[in-house]
């Protein structure tokens, strides 16, 4: 399968439970010998541009080394051109950086099946069509750089994109704590996070503090070619307990199954 989805929902009621939610490790498993999977919805990490590509992209490719940066399609806010291949390289600002957050202020590319026409590609995941304004997505650093590719075909053109990026420091849990935990801020209006790496972590909003009410989060794990399944280890799983044996208030949904309370604490899949 090309995508593995985990959903997390919390309702609007605080019933006095201590709810740290979850911290899990994920790793994609390679396919057995002689078994392959379709790669129609993904593409491998781009290789460095060849001389031929550089002639085509010398006016739109950029490298970002600062913590804060903006990625803007050529000619924005006017429509972008046809036949573009732009490379945006995000270099890790320092060894303490763990991820990059991308806030899509505006995103409007030609749509198509499997995004085969115009697309923005990050870690092998293609994006096209339209996003709601201020959609946030996060990507974990596993090396010293991220490469984003923007491709447009010879057909239709659209409005392009305006993205604000921020490199985020690794979070630590061993710093001195006051009697009261620090505030974690308002819950995000959009809680959709995409993982396009072969290994990483998924943790609930605000972890290790208690999660807020009214969350509706989706964690999408994009499958890599020749990787067939996802290994998950639940280091911590602490949600509101079930009611009458059913997970109806706060729960994690994997496939067709819901989990709550401490049902997945210490479990592996």
The mean per-residue pLDDT over the stretch 227-238 comes to 87
Mean pLDDT of 116-145: 87
User: Which three-class secondary structure state does DSSP give residue 55?
Assistant: helix
Query: Per-residue pLDDT averaged across 262-266, rounded?
Result: 90
Domain boundaries, given as residue ranges, for the chain: 3-37+188-259, 51-169
pTM of the model: 0.46
Residues 22-77 have pLDDT tens digits of 888 888 887 876 554 433 333 233 333 333 333 344 458 899 999 999 999 999 99
Tell me the sheet residues that pair with 243: 246
The span from the CA of 228 to the CA of 29, in Å, is: 6
Most confident of 172-181, 193-202, 227-236: 227-236
Q: Residue 121 — pLDDT band, cuts 50, 70, 90? A: confident
Superfamily of segment(s) 51-169: Spermadhesin, CUB domain (2.60.120.290)
What pLDDT was estimated at residue 178? 37
The whole-number pLDDT of residue 66 equals: 94
> What pLDDT, on a 0 to 100 scale, did the predictor assign at position 41?
30
> Which one has a higher pLDDT value, 17 or 246?
246
> Which pLDDT band holds residue 107 (cuts at 50, 70, 90)?
very high
Checking if the pLDDT of 164 tops 60, the result is yes
Q: Which residues of 76-100 are buried (b: 16+ CB within 10 A; e: fewer)?
A: eeebbeeebbbbbebebbeeebbbb
The residue ranking higher by pLDDT, 217 or 78, is 78
Q: Count CB atoms within 10 A of the CB of residue 32.
A: 8
φ/ψ region of 28 (left if φ > 0, alpha if ψ in -120 to 50, else beta) reads beta
Average pLDDT over residues 127-136: 91
């Amino acid at each position: 399968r090309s995508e593995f989805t985990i959903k997390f929902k919390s309702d609007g009621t605080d019933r006095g439970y201590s709810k740290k939610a979850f911290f899990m490790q994920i790793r994609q498993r390679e396919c057995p010998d002689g078994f392959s999977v379709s790669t129609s919805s993904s593409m491998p990490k781009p290789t460095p541009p060849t001389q031929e590509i550089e002639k085509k992209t010398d006016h739109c490719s950029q490298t970002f080394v600062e913590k804060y940066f903006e990625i803007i399609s050529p000619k924005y806010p006017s429509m972008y051109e046809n036949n573009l291949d732009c490379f945006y390289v995000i270099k890790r600002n320092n060894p303490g950086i763990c991820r990059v957050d991308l806030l899509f202020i505006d995103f409007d590319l030609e749509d198509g099946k499997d995004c085969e026409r115009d697309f923005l590609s990050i870690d092998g995941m293609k994006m096209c069509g339209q996003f709601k304004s201020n959609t946030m997505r996060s990507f974990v650093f596993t090396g010293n750089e991220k490469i984003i590719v923007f491709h447009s075909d010879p057909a239709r053109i659209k409005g392009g994109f305006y993205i604000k990026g921020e490199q985020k420091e690794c979070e630590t849990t061993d710093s001195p704590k006051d009697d009261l935990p620090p505030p974690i801020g308002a819950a995000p209006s959009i809680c959709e996070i995409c993982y396009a790496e072969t290994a990483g972590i998924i943790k609930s909003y605000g972890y290790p503090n208690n999660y807020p009410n009214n969350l509706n989060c989706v964690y999408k794990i994009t499958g890599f070619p020749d990787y067939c399944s996802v290994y998950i280890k639940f280091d911590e799983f602490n949600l509101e307990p079930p009611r009458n044996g059913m997970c109806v208030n706060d729960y994690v949904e994997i496939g067709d199954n819901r989990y709550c309370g401490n049902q997945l604490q210490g479990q592996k899949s």
